[in-house]
Amino acid sequence: MRVDVPEGKDAIEYVWGEMIPGIGVAASRFSLAVYSHTTLGLREFEAARLRIAQINGCAFCLDWRTERDGVKVEDDFAESVTRWRTSDALDERTRLAAEYAERYALDHHGLDEEFWTRMSAHYQQREIVELSMCLGSWLSFGRLNRVLGLDTACHLPSSGGRSPAGRPDGPSADPGRPDGPSADSARPDGLTADPGRPDGLTADPGRPVGTSPRSEPESRPLR
């Protein structure tokens, strides 16, 4: 591990929640949002996530399997994702999700019109944007955990351990809710709409953008 974690501290919670709470907590909300608010099917979601995990080499992300209503992908699904070009276990949407993930991570300049024609034939524009945001989260935070050695500090599901907030990328930022959104029910990042700003967002006066609107600051994320 590349970070000195005090004895008795959980590595993930310490790094994400205590070392840089102004950034880490906001980042964890983003990592949670792609699980809590996705509209993508489980197979294309997992195909994209696992291909990024394979490229990043994040041990925890590779071991993790997203579960929805008690359903997970089959045990050999990750191998099919590795062989996305030739595997007959993937339908076209799932194959494209794996391809997009790989090219997003390794060759985003090479995403040409031929690829976008195929992608647009199977995904709506809203789904493409959503998948792109998911890929951004997995690539960034999975790689962060891998580079800092946090992926091996996580307790992996297969070894009987727990996962931070039930998600592979980061811990929950809100002890009041299990899925991690802020106290602002209208927006998971705690921001409100502001037509006067170019980005359409504003934060409470005197409060940094992305921090919780609660009266007491959040110093650490919870499981």
* CA-wise closest residue to 76 among 67, 68, 87: 87
Kindly indicate the confidence band of residue 124, based on its pLDDT and cuts at 50, 70 and 90: very high
The DSSP result for 72-134, as a single string, is ---TTHHHHHHTTTT-TT--HHHHHHHHHHHHHHH-GGG--HHHHHHHHHHS-HHHHHHHHHH
Q: What is the model's pLDDT at position 204? A: 39
Contacts of 187 (CB under 8 A, 6+ apart): none
Is residue 205 pLDDT above 80, yes or no? no
Local structure of residue 190 (DSSP, 8 states): S
Per-residue pLDDT at 1: 80
pLDDT tens digits, residue range 44-81? 999 999 999 999 999 999 999 999 999 999 999 999 99
User: Which pLDDT score is estimated for 31?
Assistant: 93
Closest CA to 137 of 51, 49, 77, 18: 49
pLDDT tens figures, 167-199 = 455 554 333 333 333 333 333 333 333 334 334
Determine the pLDDT at residue 170.
Answer: 52
CA distances from 174 to 28, 34, 57, 116 (A): 10, 16, 28, 38
Q: Is the pLDDT of residue 119 over 60?
A: yes
Q: How far, in Å, CA of 145 to CA of 61, rounded?
A: 9
Whether 220 shows a pLDDT value over 60: the answer reads no
Query: pLDDT by residue (tens digit) across 144-172?
Result: 999 999 988 765 444 333 333 334 555 54
Question: What residue type is assigned to position 43 of the chain?
Answer: R
Which residues are registered as beta bridge partners of 68?
A: 71
Are 126 and 117 a contacting pair, CB within 8 Å? no
| CA pair distance 138, 33, nearest whole angstrom | 12
* CATH level 2 (architecture), domain 11-202: Up-down Bundle (1.20)
Q: Would you state the pLDDT for residue 154?
A: 65
Q: Where are the domains of the chain?
A: 11-202
Binned at pLDDT 50, 70 and 90, residue 109 comes out as very high
pLDDT band at 214 (very low <50, low <70, confident <90, very high): very low
